Structure 1
Amino acid sequence: MAEKPKSMVLGVVAAAVFAGLGRMVIQKVRADRAARNHRVTGPLDKETRARISRALRTPNK
């Protein structure tokens, strides 16, 4: 009996998925590292936001 040829589609799709996931992980690690190195802060609370807003609205004397 002749053997059935194996399809390479599954292997190619799996490789593409793993490559895409790996790329996303590397981008996330690089973004986290850049944020840590540049001291990017998280979201501000309402009180801090209000103080900044007030400071920007008042004219400099």
Structure 2
Amino acid sequence: MAENSKSVLLPVVAAAVFAGLGRMVLQKIKADRQARNIRTAGPVDEKTRKWISEVVRTPRE
């Protein structure tokens, strides 16, 4: 019988897959932290920022 050859392909592919998944998880964590710190849906210009400030400060009847 022929000896079992040790394939290097499977461990290399597995390492690449785990590295890719790890990178995706780290990117997701960074994006979540950044989104939590910004707390806005998108960039806000000065006019919109003033309008929001006025609406928040205006007393309700």
What band does the TM-score fall into relative to the shorter chain? 0.5 to 0.7
Q: Are 2:3 and 1:3 aligned?
A: yes
Point out where structure 1 has 5 or more consecutive residues left out of the alignment.
42-51, 53-61
Q: Does 1:18 align with 2:18?
A: yes
Task: Give identity over the alignment, percent.
Answer: 69
Q: Which amino acid aligns with 1:25?
A: V
5+ residue gaps, structure 2, are 42-47, 49-61
AA in 2 matched with 1:38 = I
How does the TM-score come out when normalised to structure 1? 0.60
1:5-35 Cα offsets, whole Å, 9 max, x none, are: 2101000000000000000000000000000
The whole-number CA distance in structure 1 between the counterparts of 2:21 and 2:10 is: 16
Please, what is the CA RMSD of the aligned residues? Answer: 1.8
1:49 matched to which residue of 2? Answer: none
4+ runs deviating over 6 angstroms: none
